[in-house]
Amino acid sequence: MIIDGKRVSEKRLELLKEEIDESGLYPRLATVIAGDNPASLLYVQMKHRACERVHIGSISVTLPGDSTTAKVLETVDRLNKDPDINGILVQLPLPSGVETEKIIEAILPEKDVDGFHPFNLGKLLGGYPTFAPCTPLGVMTLLKEYNIDPAGKRAVVIGRSIDVGRPMAALLINADATVTVCHSRTKDLASELKRADIIVSGIGKARFITADMVNENAVVIDVGINHVDGKLCGDVDFAAVSEKVAAITPVPGGVGPMTIATLMENTFKAAKMQSCRTVP
Ligand SMILES: NC(=O)c1ccc[n+]([C@@H]2O[C@H](COP(=O)([O-])OP(=O)(O)OC[C@H]3O[C@@H](n4cnc5c(N)ncnc54)[C@H](OP(=O)(O)O)[C@@H]3O)[C@@H](O)[C@H]2O)c1
C-alpha cells in the first residue's frame, strides 16, 4: 500500500478551511526568515500559499543574512506582543551568527506553532497536550488516516533531531508503541529495522534503507528529503522496499505535504486557544 500524503493533506486542508470559516476566527501566522537561502525561501512561500488557501492570514518578516541574534530577538518580541498574530514560525536554519536556541526560547509557547520551544517539547515528552512539531505530528495523522494504530507495535525511529526524531519518538510512545531510537552511533541498524512493525526514517541520506533491512509486514514512513541528479528522493530505496513491505510513503508526495497541512492545523489551534483566553 502506498500511503498518499498528498491526498490526505489536500483533504485535511479542505476540512480545515471549512472549520476556520465556521469558527468566525481569522487566524494569523507570522513567518520570520533571515537571509536568502533558496530552500528556506521556497518553504516559506509554500507556507504562505497554504495559509491563503485555508483562510489564515499571514505576514512575512524578512531580515538580512547578516542579522544578529539581538535583531532576530527584537522581531520575535514584537510578534509575541502583537495580539493579531497567533502563530510565529522562525524558518530554520538561521544564519550562522544567530543563536538558534535563544531565538526558539524567545517565542511565546502559546504562539510556538512549530513546537520547538523547550516548554512544548517537555510537555510532549511528558505526554501532555501541547503543540507538537509539524513533521512528526503529520506522520501521526497519516498513520491515523490509514488506520495504522501504533499501540503495542514495535516502532523504530531513525534520527534524533528536535524537529523529527525526538518528537517522533515521544508521539509514538504517547500512542503506546514500543519505541527504539537509532542514530549514527547505532551499532547494527539493520537488525533493529528487521524487527520493526513501523519504521520512521529522518536521516537525510538518499536510498539508505534497502529492502534487505526491513521485514514484509513493516509500515515504512520516509521523512528524508534528498536531491539526487536534480530529483527528490527519500532515505528509503523506494523501488525495492515498496515491493516488499506492507505500506510505505513515497518521496515526494508522502510526509512533505503533511508538514505544511499540520502547520496550518497548529496555527488554527493557537488561534482557538488564544481566543478562549481573551473572551471576557
Ligand atoms: N518531509 C518533511 O517535511 C521534512 C521535515 C524536516 C526534515 N526533513 C528531512 O528529514 C531528514 C532529517 O532531517 P533532520 O532535520 O532530522 O536532520 P538532522 O538534524 O541532520 O538529523 C539527522 C539524524 O540522522 C542520523 N543519522 C545520520 N546518519 C545516520 C546513519 N548512517 N545511520 C543512522 N542514523 C543516521 C543522525 O544521527 P546523529 O544524531 O548521531 O548525528 C541524526 O540524528 C532530512 O532529509 C530533512 O530534509 C523532512
Q: Is the pTM of this model over 0.95?
A: yes
Instruction: Calculate mean pLDDT across residues 86-114.
Output: 97
Please state, as a whole number, how many other Cβ atoms lie within 10 Å of the Cβ of residue 63.
18
Residue closest by Cα to atom 45 of ligand 1? 204
pLDDT of residue 280 exceeding 60 = no
Give the percent of the chain with pLDDT over 70: 99
pLDDT of residue 91 exceeding 70 = yes
CA distance 197 to 246: 9
Please check whether residue 213 lies inside any domain of the structure.
yes
Kindly give, in sequence order, each residue whose CB lies less than 8 Å from that of residue 208, ignoring residues fewer than 6 positions away: 201, 224, 235, 236, 237
Question: Which of 75, 110, 145 is the endpoint of a domain?
Answer: 110
The domain that holds 140 is classified in CATH as 3.40.50.720
Please check whether residue 276 lies inside any domain of the structure.
no
Question: Which of 110, 145, 170 is the endpoint of a domain?
Answer: 110
- Say which residue, 223 or 277, is predicted with more confidence: 223
pLDDT of residue 276: 85
Structural domain containing residue 219:
134-255
pLDDT of residue 279 exceeding 60 = no
Please check whether residue 74 lies inside any domain of the structure.
yes
- 86 and 28 co-located in one domain: yes
Please check whether residue 91 lies inside any domain of the structure.
yes
- 166 and 231 co-located in one domain: yes
- 97 and 144 co-located in one domain: no
The domain that holds 58 is classified in CATH as 3.40.50.10860
Count up the domains in the chain and report the number: 2
Atom of ligand 1 nearest to the CA of 185: 40
Average pLDDT, the chain: 97
Which pLDDT band holds residue 57 (cuts at 50, 70, 90)? very high
- 172 and 101 co-located in one domain: no
Beta strand pairing call for 247-248 and 219-222: parallel
pLDDT of residue 278: 60
Ligand 1, residues at Cβ distance < 6 Å: 135, 158-161, 163-165, 182-186, 189, 202-205, 223-226, 255-256, 259
Instruction: Calculate mean pLDDT across residues 78-99.
Output: 97
Question: How close is the Cα of 231 to the center of ligand 1, in Å?
Answer: 19
pLDDT of residue 132: 98
Question: How close is the Cα of 204 to the center of ligand 1, in Å?
Answer: 5
pLDDT of residue 244: 98
- 143 and 88 co-located in one domain: no
Question: How close is the Cα of 235 to the center of ligand 1, in Å?
Answer: 9
pLDDT of residue 171: 98
Please check whether residue 192 lies inside any domain of the structure.
yes
pLDDT digits over 212-254, tens only? 999 999 999 999 999 999 999 999 999 999 999 999 999 999 9
pLDDT of residue 13: 98
pLDDT of residue 124: 98
pLDDT of residue 153 exceeding 60 = yes
Looking at the chain, list the stretches that DSSP marks H as alpha helix, in order from N- to C-terminal side. 5-23, 38-54, 69-81, 100-106, 118-126, 134-145, 165-174, 189-194, 238-244, 255-278
Residue closest by Cα to atom 22 of ligand 1? 203
Query: The C-alpha cell of 198 is what?
Result: 513501523
